[in-house]
Structure 1
Amino acid sequence: MDQKSNYTISESDLIKGSIAGDRRMQEELYRRFAPKMYAVCLRYANNTDDAQDLLQEGFIKVYKNLHRFRAEGSFEGWVRRVFVNTSIEHFRKKSAQLSSVSEKEENTIEDADITALDSLAEKDIINIVQELSPGYRTVFNLYVVEGYSHKEIGELLGISEGTSKSQLARAKSILQKKVTQYLSDTKKSFTR
């Protein structure tokens, strides 16, 4: 991911060349999208090794399915969706089923405010989000970062809409506590 991308090559030429098996075009496609897609993978992965695995698996799927891109939306958006779906598939394989929550339980879960995240660097936020359990992390990313509705998340993960809502609320609550602790620890280290 270190090498610079050659943005003089058009996206259309990049796609056509990659479909045709041109290694230079495939490498360019990787260079152009790997940094952003690695960031997507990091949000869903337990650690950097898992993120690297997701990155590799995602690019394999991109290359295999390039012929399916219909140019009806942005190419980057299409690539991103491949990576999000790859991450979801990884989650499904690795995780136990999310616990189901009754409507009564759902209504008792507080929706914690995570405004403290504003004062953290992106790297710190990613590290804190990675500490969440896979279920909480996946629902949090799909809802907060990717913009899926709870209904869509439920369909993607095979859980109820209520379970998605409760997983998000719990994730936010845990994140609030972790962020507060992180900021407290950071403040203490600066005052010493």
Structure 2
Amino acid sequence: METEIRFTHKSLVENSKSGDRNSQYQLYELYVDAMYNIGMRFLGCKEDAEDVVQDSFIDAFKNLHKFKYESTFGAWLKRIVINKCINHLKVKRLPLSTINDHEFHLTEEVAYERVAAVDILKVKTGIEKLPQGYRQIINLYLLEGFDHNEISEVLGITTSTSKSQYHRAKKKLVEIINTL
């Protein structure tokens, strides 16, 4: 089954590798909306998200020869988009601050109960209201499924900073949601 998933769009990918513009357009149409949503979650600005997605597709098509079906095409492209979003944010130099371990002791059960009881629109609104650094960690960890080691690698921070930022972001998200 997993092999089938990896090769779902193999003919489109292979034709695109050969320079077939029609196949490239079909791949673009299949993935542009999902990649735009990722860009919006990270950047929060329509124009920035559109630019990053376009740049991501250009890079993907230029480097398609490097795609070896070790994952799905969508997962490979998603990684490109996420990396471009992160690089875009780094250019803006949005800082992540470190905190001491004792500053983020939360009662996990209470935080999760509060968030679980709130409707999804409040959660989405709350994420949008988070400071950019917090939103970035929440997006990577909760929405994109990265673990703290991957986040630390992608953002160029320590694993403990990733964990502390996540806990701080989660606490802030609960505060925001409780005021909505």
Higher mean C-alpha displacement, 145-154 vs 135-144: 145-154
Q: CA deviation at 1:72?
A: 2.1
Letter in 1 for 2:163: K
Whole-angstrom CA distance in 1 between matches of 2:117 and 2:45: 23
- Over the matched positions of the two proteins, sequence identity in percent amounts to 36
Q: Return the TM-score normalized by structure 2.
A: 0.82
Q: CA deviation at 1:131?
A: 2.2
Q: CA deviation at 1:132?
A: 1.6
Name the counterpart of 1:102: 100
Q: CA deviation at 1:44?
A: 0.5
Q: Is the 8 A contact 1:100 1:160 kept in 2?
A: no
Secondary structure of the residue that 1:136 maps to in structure 2? helix
Whole-angstrom CA distance in 2 between matches of 1:131 and 1:23: 40
Corresponding pairs, count: 169
Secondary structure of the residue that 1:77 maps to in structure 2? helix
Q: Return the TM-score normalized by structure 1.
A: 0.77
In structure 2, the CA distance between the partners of 1:177 and 1:105, relative to structure 1 (3 Å rule), is: closer
Please show how residues 138-149 of structure 1 align to structure 2 within 5 Å. Answer: 138-149=136-147
Whole-angstrom CA distance in 2 between matches of 1:91 and 1:23: 31
Structure 1, residues 99-148: CA drift from partner, whole Å, max 9, x if none?
Answer: 12223334x4565332145x224xx6444323222211111111111222
**Unaligned runs of at least 5 residues, structure 1:** 1-9, 183-192
Q: Is the 8 A contact 1:44 1:130 kept in 2?
A: no
Q: 1:39 aligns with which of 37, 52, 63?
A: 37
Q: Is the 8 A contact 1:95 1:135 kept in 2?
A: no
Q: 1:150 aligns with which of 148, 151, 155?
A: 148
Structure 1, residues 33-81: CA drift from partner, whole Å, max 9, x if none?
Answer: 0111111111101222222122112212211221111012222211111
Secondary structure of the residue that 1:148 maps to in structure 2? coil
Letter in 1 for 2:54: Q
Name the counterpart of 2:120: 120
Q: Is the 8 A contact 2:148 2:162 kept in 1?
A: yes
Secondary structure of the residue that 2:63 maps to in structure 1? helix
**Unaligned runs of at least 5 residues, structure 2:** 1-7
Q: 1:167 aligns with which of 159, 162, 165?
A: 165
Name the counterpart of 1:73: 71
Name the counterpart of 2:17: 19
Whole-angstrom CA distance in 1 between matches of 2:154 and 2:35: 20
Whole-angstrom CA distance in 2 between matches of 1:78 and 1:134: 24
Question: What is the RMSD computed on CA atoms of the aligned residues?
Answer: 2.1
Letter in 1 for 2:74: E
